[in-house]
Amino acid sequence: MALLADPDAPTEIAQRMAQILPTRLADKWGHGRRFDVEVVSEPFTAGTEDLPTLMRRIMDRGSAQNWDIVVALTDLPLHSHGRRLVVDLSHEHGLALLSLPPLGGLRLQTRARRAVEEAVLSLAGPWATGAEGPQSQPLLGPFVSRLAPIHPGQVGEEETADLRYVVSGPRGYLRVLVGMVRANRPWRLVPGLSKALAAALATGAVATVNSTIWNLAESLSAPRLVIAAVGSVALMIGWLIVDAQLWHRSTEVSPEARQRARLYNASTVLTVGIGVLVCYVGLIVINLVWALFILNGQVFASTTGTPLDAAEYWTLSWFVASVATVGGALGSGLESDEAIRAAAYSKREQERRHMLQDDDGDQLVN
Asked, for residue 211, whether it belongs to a domain, the answer is yes
- Look up the domain containing 320 and give its range: 186-364
Asked, for residue 133, whether it belongs to a domain, the answer is no
Strands (E), the chain: 2-5, 38-41, 70-74, 79-80, 83-90, 95-99, 128-130, 133-135, 150-152, 163-167
Q: Give the pLDDT confidence score for residue 116 in this predicted structure.
A: 92
Q: Give the pLDDT confidence score for residue 346 in this predicted structure.
A: 57
Q: Are residues 165 and 195 in the same domain?
A: no
Q: Are residues 222 and 346 in the same domain?
A: yes
Q: Are residues 170 and 227 in the same domain?
A: no
Q: Are residues 192 and 163 in the same domain?
A: no
Asked, for residue 134, whether it belongs to a domain, the answer is no
* No. of helices (H) and no. of strands (E), the chain: 14, 10
| Distance of alpha carbon 25 from alpha carbon 53, whole angstroms | 29
Q: Are residues 152 and 111 in the same domain?
A: yes
Q: Give the pLDDT confidence score for residue 364 in this predicted structure.
A: 40
Q: Are residues 207 and 308 in the same domain?
A: yes
Q: Give the pLDDT confidence score for residue 330 in this predicted structure.
A: 66
Q: Are residues 159 and 14 in the same domain?
A: yes
Would you give per-residue pLDDT tens digits along the chain (366 residues)? 899 998 888 999 999 999 999 999 988 887 778 889 999 998 888 777 788 889 999 999 998 988 999 999 998 888 887 788 899 999 889 999 999 999 888 888 988 999 999 899 888 876 544 444 444 455 555 555 555 677 788 887 788 888 888 888 888 888 889 988 888 778 877 777 777 788 888 889 999 999 999 999 988 899 999 999 999 999 888 888 887 778 877 777 777 778 878 888 898 899 889 988 998 999 999 999 999 999 988 888 888 888 989 999 999 999 999 999 887 776 655 444 566 666 666 566 656 655 555 554 444 444
Q: Are residues 251 and 357 in the same domain?
A: yes
Q: Are residues 107 and 229 in the same domain?
A: no
Domain count, the chain: 2
Query: pTM of the predicted model, to two decimals?
Result: 0.80
Asked, for residue 242, whether it belongs to a domain, the answer is yes
Q: Are residues 285 and 346 in the same domain?
A: yes
| Distance of alpha carbon 1 from alpha carbon 16, whole angstroms | 16
Asked, for residue 273, whether it belongs to a domain, the answer is yes
Asked, for residue 129, whether it belongs to a domain, the answer is no
Q: Are residues 43 and 84 in the same domain?
A: yes
Asked, for residue 258, whether it belongs to a domain, the answer is yes
Q: Give the pLDDT confidence score for residue 347 in this predicted structure.
A: 61
Asked, for residue 298, whether it belongs to a domain, the answer is yes
DSSP 125: S
Picking from 324, 326, 332, the residue whose alpha carbon sits closest to that of residue 291 is: 324
Q: Are residues 91 and 194 in the same domain?
A: no
Picking from 122, 113, 145, the residue whose alpha carbon sits closest to that of residue 18 is: 113
Q: Distance between alpha carbon 19 and the CA centroid of its chain, in Å?
A: 23
Picking from 7, 1, 20, the residue whose alpha carbon sits closest to that of residue 112 is: 20
Three-class SS state of 283: helix
